[in-house]
A and B are shown apart, each in its own frame.
Chain A
Amino acid sequence: MSEQTGTGEPVVPPDATGGLDPEALEAVIAAPGARFRHDYLEIRDLRVVFDGFVAVDGVDLTVTQGDLRFLIGPNGAGKTTIVDAITGLAPAAGSVQFGGVELVGKPSHKIVRAGVGRTFQTASVFDELTVLQNLDIAAGAGRGPWTMLRRRHVVPPEVEAALETVGLTQVRDLPAGVLAHGQKQWLEIGMLLVQDARLLLLDEPVAGMSQAEREETGLLLQRIGEQRTVVVVEHDMEFLRAFASSVTVLHQGRVLSEGTVAQVQADPRVVEVYLGSGAHGRGRGMAASAAEPAASTEVE
């Protein structure tokens, strides 16, 4: 097997790019009226069943614009499955409404057109296309056939601004496959911005990032959260404590607790679940790290 592509091996040192630029964010997301639009995500009695296995069992969830909501929970709690169900990837029953539009039963691409955008646990960008092409595709779902069949003559302004926001302007003509891991995740966030998602569902957006990158990403998400509805699935408790404005704890497909970080940490049920699962699954990575907030609650 002769593979000459060399993709997969990041060749761009992270400091080759300018870092995130939240100021440029304004140009992307401050569309007229966007500031005063009060979208919210409303999930009622959501159930997801895989071959008889109940992965999500009657979840209610309301996230309003301006909230930066974190979903946490031990492995198998149903966090990613909820995101899958919202975006039409998992078979959902119940009701998921965003901006008054019912999403359950719609095909994925129509859910996206209703203003819902998501990322995946593994950064999934188009490795062979350039950063610019990645963003341009994300910006173009509403283009007519004629525009599609022609070349891109000018870079759309929102793409330009998104490049600035996620700090990838200097590498815009490089194939996305050569970006460092953190940069790929920023590119994904940039794609969400240009695709004009008003509900952003981020699945572990800072996994594999350095401490400085996490910091920058968190600040960026906070600013986005002021004007969009943002839901983050995350295992990193330090990141959660620093940036979450509210937290929903899931356990075995149900909502266990909900509130601010402090409220959730003080909830005895959360402590029990995390300590319990931590005790059973000691040394099993996620469960152990997820046990962290509970443990620190005790210390505090």
Chain B
Amino acid sequence: MDALFSQLFAGLSLGSVLLLAALGLALTFGQMGVINMAHGEFIMAGAYTAFVLQAFIPDAGVSLLVALPVGFVVGGLLGLLLEVTLISRMYRRPLDTLLVTFGVALVLQQLARDVFGAPNVDVRAPAWLSGAVPFLGMNLPKTRLFILGLAIACVVVLSLVLKLTSLGRRIRATVQNRDLAETSGVSTRATDRLTFFVGSGIAGIAGVALTLLGSIGPTLGTNYIVDAFLVVVVGGIGQLKGAVIAAFSLGLLQATFEYSTTASLAKVLLFVVIVAFLQVRPQGLVSVRTRSLA
């Protein structure tokens, strides 16, 4: 029974990390049909933001709380820059965008290597996140609980923003009917930029959160990007709901596979399960029937 619960928690924890990494991706992909390979490097940028801030703010707790919004802005600005310079030119070529943003990812990684050095660096976790919370005979690490809470908070805030604010209305209008939104006075260009800013900003938050789980390095993003993509594929696009369910399902599955086999076999098994799942739901969990030729 204990093993079951600790597996469950491991899965939820992994799922929350995946969700943080994939949430912004789901937003930008949903709006523009663009897969941004540099998303992982925005995560990395968020992580290094936390690292840099710690040099200025000695208190680990304060610097973490400052790093979350600053990481959001750093990731968001990087995304905005990418959108304005490259992606906006290539909306009709989504596959090519994937390659171009991969080039951006390579450059950003090397930049991090040159600025911060190739070896991994550590960010101190605040004292109030050290240790564990006893629960049903298990010890749940506080950092993992914090990330779980952060992921849920991000989803809640994001869906409230989409539902209640004028930005959210503009985003939804643009996603649903770009042309109509345009003719109704919504600047789709500005909306695209804002969406990209928010989506990439969430990547920055994810990066800050990842510093709590271990040391960080220039390839931090690469480790998460493939899994984040899989979350988007399985979740389907257009609704945050899909990404949330997919992230936690994949997290739980992977934790289960890792428990019963090895970590490396688990990846292969997960891949097989995803391909099998796509046989049943090729458009992901949340699918919308379309009338077009597609």
Contact = CB atoms under 8 A, between A and B. Distances in A.
B289 A50 contact: yes
B288 A124 contact: no
Interface string A67-98: 00000000000001100100001110000000
Contacts of B288: 51
Nearest to A55: B291
Interface in B228-252: none
Top 9 closest pairs, chain A to chain B, by CB: A50-B289, A1-B89, A51-B289, A120-B293, A1-B90, A51-B288, A91-B289, A50-B291, A90-B291
Interface of A: 1, 50-51, 80-81, 84, 89-91, 120, 124
Contacts of B93: 1
Given A1-B89, A1-B90, A81 B293 contact: no
Contacts of A1: 89-90, 93
Contacts of B291: 50, 80-81, 84, 90
B292 to A, nearest CB: 10
B87 to A, nearest CB: 12
Contact of A124 (B90, B289, B293): B293
Contacts, number: 15
Nearest to A49: B289
Size range of the chain B interface in the assembly: under 10
A25 B288 CA distance: 42
Interface string B258-294: 0000000000000000000000000000001101010
Contacts of B90: 1
A84 B293 CA distance: 10
15 contacts: A1-B89, A1-B90, A1-B93, A50-B289, A50-B291, A51-B288, A51-B289, A80-B291, A81-B291, A84-B291, A89-B293, A90-B291, A91-B289, A120-B293, A124-B293
B284 to A, nearest CB: 15
Contacts of A50: 289, 291
Contacts of A81: 291
B281 to A, nearest CB: 15
Q: Which of B89, B90, B93, B289 has most chain A Cβ within 10 Å?
A: B289
B97 to A, nearest CB: 11
Nearest to B293: A120
Counting chain B CB atoms within 10 Å of each CB, which of A1, A81, A91, A124 scores highest?
A1
A84 B294 CA distance: 12
Contacts of A120: 293
Contacts of A89: 293
Nearest to B93: A1
Contacts of B89: 1
A1 B87 CA distance: 11
Nearest to B90: A1
A187 to B, nearest CB: 17
A1 to B, nearest CB: 6
A277 B138 CA distance: 67
Nearest to A84: B291
B85 to A, nearest CB: 13
A191 to B, nearest CB: 16
Contacts of A91: 289
A271 to B, nearest CB: 29
A24 to B, nearest CB: 30
Given A1-B93, A51-B288, 13 more contacts: A1-B89, A1-B90, A50-B289, A50-B291, A51-B289, A80-B291, A81-B291, A84-B291, A89-B293, A90-B291, A91-B289, A120-B293, A124-B293
A172 to B, nearest CB: 26
B151 to A, nearest CB: 29
B95 to A, nearest CB: 14
A80 B93 CA distance: 28
Nearest to A81: B291
Contacts of A90: 291
A142 to B, nearest CB: 24
A81 B292 CA distance: 10
Interface string B73-89: 00000000000000001
Quick one: which of B89, B288, B293 has the most chain A CB within 10 A?
A: B293
Contacts of A84: 291
Interface string B89-122: 1100100000000000000000000000000000
Nearest to A121: B293
